Structure 1
Amino acid sequence: MSSAKRSPRPVTRGESTPNQSARVDWLNATFKPGEMTIEGLIVKLSQIMRRPISGVDEGKGIRGYKSSVTLFAHVGSRKQPMGFIGFGGDAQRGTWMVSIPGSGCSLIEAWDEMRDLLEELDARITRLDLCVDFLNGEYTVEDAVAFYRAGKFTSSGRPPATSQAGDWLNERERTLYIGKAQNGKVLRAYEKGHQLGNLQSPWTRYEVQFGSRDRVIPLEALTERDKYFAGAYPVLAELIDSAAEKIPTKQTEGETTLAHLLHHMRRTYGKTIDVLSTVEGFEIASLVEEVRVIGVPRRVNLSSVAAGPTWSGVCDLARKAA
C-alpha cells in the first residue's frame, strides 16, 4: 500500500459547505415543473453558478424524454456544455429532468443554493456521484484492491461484485468497479491522471455513484457530502476521516426483511408444516424446535432485529403475491 495516508483537500472554488473532502461529480434530478418554465429554470441555474447560462433546443429527445435543451455555461469568452433539461413524453408522467455531469458540477459554487432549488421544486435525485481525489496517490487503485480483499467493502455479510477496465498488465488507466450501478450503488477507483493523458501522474479518484433504485437519495447529500460518501462502504470513512451516513434501501434490513422471510417461509413450507401438524401429530412447539437453527440470517441487520416482523407487513406481501 501507499506510505502516505492523508487525504488532500480537493480545491472547490467558493463552496458553501466548508471542510468537505467529497464533491459532486454528477447530478440527475426529476421533478414536476408546476409554474416553472425552461427560461425560469435557466435563470435559477445562472444565479446558482454565478455566470450566464444559455440553452439550445435540440429538437429531439433524450433519456426517454420527447424534447431536450442543452445547457451551456459562459466561461470567459467560450461556452462550455454543462448539462441538459429533458421534458415531454407520456411515459415521463409530466416530469422534467435536469442532468449536470462533472463538467457542469465543477462550476457550481453554492451547493446549498442548488439544494434549496431542488427542495423548492420538490425534486427527486435519481443519480448522484460523489468523489474524492487523492492527488498525490495517498490511496491508489492497488489499495482499493487490498481493501476489497481484506473485506473492507463488505457491509452486509456478502462482498459486493467487482469488475475491471483499463490496461492492468501495463498498469495504465486502470479502473476497479465495486458494486453495480444497476443495483443502485457502485464505487469506481481509477487513475484520473492517466485518464487525462499523464501516465506519470499519481492522481487517483475514488467515486461513488448512487442511483435511486430501491433508495431515496436525500437532498442533504449535496451539502453534507462527506458523510454520505463515507457511508457508501465501510472503508471510505477511514479514507476521509468522517462520520458515515448510510443511505438506506427502501426494503429495510430489519422489519421489512423479516416480514419477507416469514412470507416466503409460509409460501414455501406452509403446507409441509400443516401436514406434519395435522397428519403426523407434531405439536407446533416441538416442530419449531425440530427445525430451528440458532442465529440470525446474514441479510438481516442486527441493530433492527428487535423490531421484529409486523403481521400487517406479511399480509401486504401476501396480497402483492396473490
Structure 2
Amino acid sequence: MKLAPKPQYQNVTKVDYLTVTFCPAEIQRLKTMAKWHVSTGEYKHYREAYNALICSEIFSEDGTDDFDLVNETKRTTDRFFTEESEKAYNDLFDNNTRYSNNMPYDQKMALCKVVVKKTQKYKVLENLIQGELQHFLTLLNTVVAKDSDRMNPDEQPWTIRQNQGGMFTYDHSATLYRHGVNSGLVAWGANNAGCMVSFSGTGCKGLDLNLLHKLLKRMPHAKITRLDIAYDDYEGEIGVDEYLKQYEMGHFALTNQMPNWSYICGGTYVSLSKEQQADFKKKHGWQKKYDLVPNAGSTLYVGSRSNGKMFRAYEKGRQMESTNQPNWVRAELELRATDRTIPLDALINTDAVFAAAYPALAFISEKRLVIQTTKRKKQDSKLIDIRAQHDATEQRLFKYHKLAYGKCVNYMKQILQLSDSEIVKQLTKGLAIDDMPTKLRQTLVMPPNFNQSENIPCH
C-alpha cells in the first residue's frame, strides 16, 4: 500500500511531550571552558574540569598553613567526609583561605568535588539560574500560555510546587502544574549547569507553540533535549498492522541497517464453548479449551530510545476503551538530543519533522525537516588494540614489581632517607634510555620524551 502525502495548510501532528534546557551565559562559558580543558588532556572528565573551574579561585595563590590541615584531615573524598571535616572546610572558606597549586591531582579533584558547593562562585551561579528560571515561568504565564488559559488575568495558569530533593542529577526540582493538574516538572542547579523544564501531554495542550518558539529563540543557550510528536488517526485508516507491514517492506530504514522492532499485543483469556471446542478440534485435530482474545490493543515499537529516535504506534481507542472512536490509532515519534541537535524550528514544523523521520511516515506532509545525526569519531581499531595490550602489560608488571621490590624501595626511602630522585637514579643507573621490559617494547610503546614520530603510539 503506497501512502500519498496529504496536502495541508497547518500541522496535523502535535507536540505531545517537550523538554527544554537553558542556562545563563556565564554557565555556558564555564561549560565550554570545561570541554576545552578535557580536550587538551588537562582533566580526565568533564565533571572534574567543571568543578575545578568553579573552585579555581581557591587554587590561585600559594598555599598557607591551612594546606597542612587538608592533609591531616584526609577528607578529600565522599567516603571519608564527616561532620568534623565539613566544619573545617567551612572555616577555611569563611576565612577566604586559598590553597597551593602543588596539591596532588587526585586530591585536588576530590577536594573540588566536596567543597564546590561552598564556593562563592557556586552561590552566584545558583542565583543566576534561579533568576533565569523565574523569568521563564513569568513569561510562561503572561505570554506563552494559550489565550483560553489566560482569560482570567488574576489567575496564573502555571504554578510550581518545589519537591524535597533533586532530579536527574539536578540539585533542585519542582512539579509543574497547569490549572492545578500535574503537567510536567522543573529541575535546576549549578551542579548540572542550568535549568530543565519538561511538559507532559497535558502541559503541551496549554502552550502556544509559535510564541514558545519565539521565546526560546531569544533565550540564552536554549536547547530541545526531547520532543515527542503524535499523529492521531481517529478513524484507524492506517492500523498498527499496516505500520508493521511497512517495516517488513523496509520503509523504516534510512540506511542499509534496519532499526530494531518490537510488537506487543494483549487482551483477555476466555473459555470456549463445547461447540467451539468441537469445531476447533475438527479443524486442527487437537483439543482447545481456552482462547486468547487480543481486545486490549497492540503496539509496535521501531528504533531505540537509547539511540535518540523511536517510533511507536498503538491502538489508542482500545486502550482508552473509547466508544465514540474505537478505531483510534496513535503514531508517535520520540526524539532525544542523543548524537543529534533538535532545532527549535521543529516546534512549529512538526509535520515536516514527522514525515522526514522514516519513509513510512512520508504521507503526513510533502515538506521535510531532516534532523541529521552527529557521526561519532571512530578510532583506529589497531591502535586501540595496541594500547589495550600495553595497558594490561603495564598494570601486570607494576603489580608484581611492587610485590617483589616495593619493600626494598620503602627501605631505601624510610631507613636510608634517600630522596625519590636518588632512588630512581640508583635503580636506573647504567640503563639506556630505551631499556625497558621486553613485553612493553613488543607493543611499540616508547617513553614520552623518546617519542620522535606521531605514528608511534605512546601511553
Structure 2: how far apart are the matches of 1:171 and 1:320?
A: 62
Letter of the 1:24 counterpart: V
Report the equivalent of 2:357: 232
Report the equivalent of 1:99: 198
Structure 2: how far apart are the matches of 1:226 and 1:321?
A: 51
Tell whether the 8 Å contact from 2:133 to 2:195 is kept in structure 1 after alignment: no
Report the equivalent of 1:87: 188
Letter of the 1:172 counterpart: A
Per-residue Cα deviation, 1:6-29 (whole angstroms, up to 9, x for no partner): 9799xxxxxxxx511111011111
Letter of the 1:182 counterpart: S
Report the equivalent of 2:234: 135
Tell whether the 8 Å contact from 1:188 to 1:207 is kept in structure 2 after alignment: yes
Q: Which has the larger radius of gyration?
A: 2
Give the counterpart of 1:195 among 319, 322, 343.
319
Give the counterpart of 2:170 among 53, 65, 69.
65
Letter of the 1:80 counterpart: V
Report the equivalent of 2:340: 215
Shift in Å, 1:196: 1.7
When structure 1 is superposed on structure 2, of 54-63 and 182-191 the one drifting more is: 54-63
Shift in Å, 1:218: 0.6
For structure 2, which runs of at least 5 residues remain unmatched after alignment? 26-127, 150-155, 268-292, 386-454
Tell whether the 8 Å contact from 1:7 to 1:134 is kept in structure 2 after alignment: no
Kindly indicate which of the two structures has a greater share of residues assigned to strand. 1
Give the TM-score taking structure 2 as reference length: 0.49
Shift in Å, 1:101: 1.1
Structure 2: how far apart are the matches of 1:184 and 1:164?
A: 19
Give the counterpart of 1:29 among 20, 36, 39.
20
Structure 1: how far apart are the matches of 2:302 and 2:135?
A: 39
Structure 1: how far apart are the matches of 2:322 and 2:232?
A: 16
Shift in Å, 1:176: 0.6
- Secondary structure of 1:178 counterpart: strand
Shift in Å, 1:172: 2.1
Aligned identity (percent) is: 31
Give the counterpart of 1:178 among 285, 298, 302.
302
Report the equivalent of 1:43: 138
Structure 2: how far apart are the matches of 1:159 and 1:64?
A: 34
Shift in Å, 1:321: 11
Structure 2: how far apart are the matches of 1:187 and 1:160?
A: 10
Structure 2: how far apart are the matches of 1:55 and 1:229?
A: 31
Report the equivalent of 2:57: none
Kindly indicate which of the two structures has a greater share of residues assigned to helix. 2
Structure 2: how far apart are the matches of 1:140 and 1:103?
A: 25
When structure 1 is superposed on structure 2, of 121-130 and 208-217 the one drifting more is: 121-130
- Secondary structure of 1:72 counterpart: strand
RMSD over aligned Cα, in angstroms? 3.1
Report the equivalent of 2:261: 162
Give the TM-score taking structure 1 as reference length: 0.69
Structure 2: how far apart are the matches of 1:166 and 1:107?
A: 32
Structure 1: how far apart are the matches of 2:135 and 2:17?
A: 22
Structure 1 33/101 Cα, relative in aligned 2: closer, same or farther at 3 Å?
A: farther
Letter of the 1:135 counterpart: Y
- Secondary structure of 1:122 counterpart: coil
Structure 2: how far apart are the matches of 1:56 and 1:320?
A: 55
Aligned residues: 250
Tell whether the 8 Å contact from 1:8 to 1:133 is kept in structure 2 after alignment: no
Tell whether the 8 Å contact from 1:30 to 1:96 is kept in structure 2 after alignment: yes
Tell whether the 8 Å contact from 1:6 to 1:138 is kept in structure 2 after alignment: no
Structure 2: how far apart are the matches of 1:105 and 1:123?
A: 18
Structure 1 208/319 Cα, relative in aligned 2: closer, same or farther at 3 Å?
A: farther
Shift in Å, 1:45: 1.2
Letter of the 2:310 counterpart: V
- Secondary structure of 2:178 counterpart: strand
